[in-house]
A and B are shown apart, each in its own frame.
Chain A
Amino acid sequence: RKEVEQDPGPFNVPEGATVAFNCTYSNSASQSFFWYRQDCRKEPKLLMSVYSSGNEDGRFTAQLNRASQYISLLIRDSKLSDSATYLCVVNNEGGSYIPTFGRGTSLIVHP
């Protein structure tokens, strides 16, 4: 089983839709979690950290489910500018805090 798994998509949704992505991780000792956004031919940029209690930033909501070992990202009222690849990142305990990136989920928002 891969350490961090994401559905590559693409998720093709109309403007205004609500869309959700999940990311599963295999290491139960994982300690910190993030969602990154990567536009085509650009660097990944931090979208939001994921806290145990769940957190919201405008149209974006991130949640962590430790029991089932996944994190989720919900985007409400999708905009054309939300089109990008969304990467989840999991940091594992073990001395070195090795960050592991998922392969990313591609989102296409169309008019």
Chain B
Amino acid sequence: DTAVSQTPKYLVTQMGNDKSIKCEQNLGHDTMYWYKQDSKKFLKIMFSYNNKELIINETVPNRFSPKSPDKAHLNLHINSLELGDSAVYFCASSQDNRVKSYGYTFGSGTRLTVV
């Protein structure tokens, strides 16, 4: 039973398109995240939601819009895709936003390629 599941696993799309990535966690966690890992393997946080409320928004272009319909789901919609958006996007969750001992649980990633 997958703890944090994200779909799709692979996404190849043309520049200018709009796409969405979905994420769901069944761990009962309060906090969910989106991370971007670029070609240099740097993992950078993009957004965090705690109980459906946006708590972290890290200088991400406003073409990226997260949506959290409930605390178990955090989706990422990207408008007008650009070549530089190509990366692996990881969803993650944690028990709460203080993350004292239990850390983060990651989904398996969505490999986005913009052509």
Contact = CB atoms under 8 A, between A and B. Distances in A.
Contact of A49 (B45, B101, B108): B101
Given A98-B56, A99-B45, A101-B43, A42 B99 contact: no
Q: Place the interface of chain B in its size category.
A: 20 to 34
Nearest to B56: A96
Contact of A103 (B33, B40, B104, B105): B40
B36 to A, nearest CB: 11
B66 interface: no
B44 interface: yes
A103 B37 CA distance: 10
Interface of B: 33, 35, 40-45, 48, 55-56, 58, 90, 97-109
29 contacts: A32-B98, A32-B99, A32-B101, A42-B108, A42-B109, A43-B90, A43-B106, A43-B107, A44-B90, A44-B104, A46-B102, A46-B105, A85-B41, A89-B103, A89-B104, A91-B99, A96-B55, A96-B97, A97-B98, A97-B99, A98-B56, A99-B45, A99-B99, A100-B45, A101-B42, A101-B44, A103-B40, A103-B41, A103-B42
Interface of A: 31-32, 34, 36, 42-46, 49, 85, 87, 89, 91, 96-101, 103-104
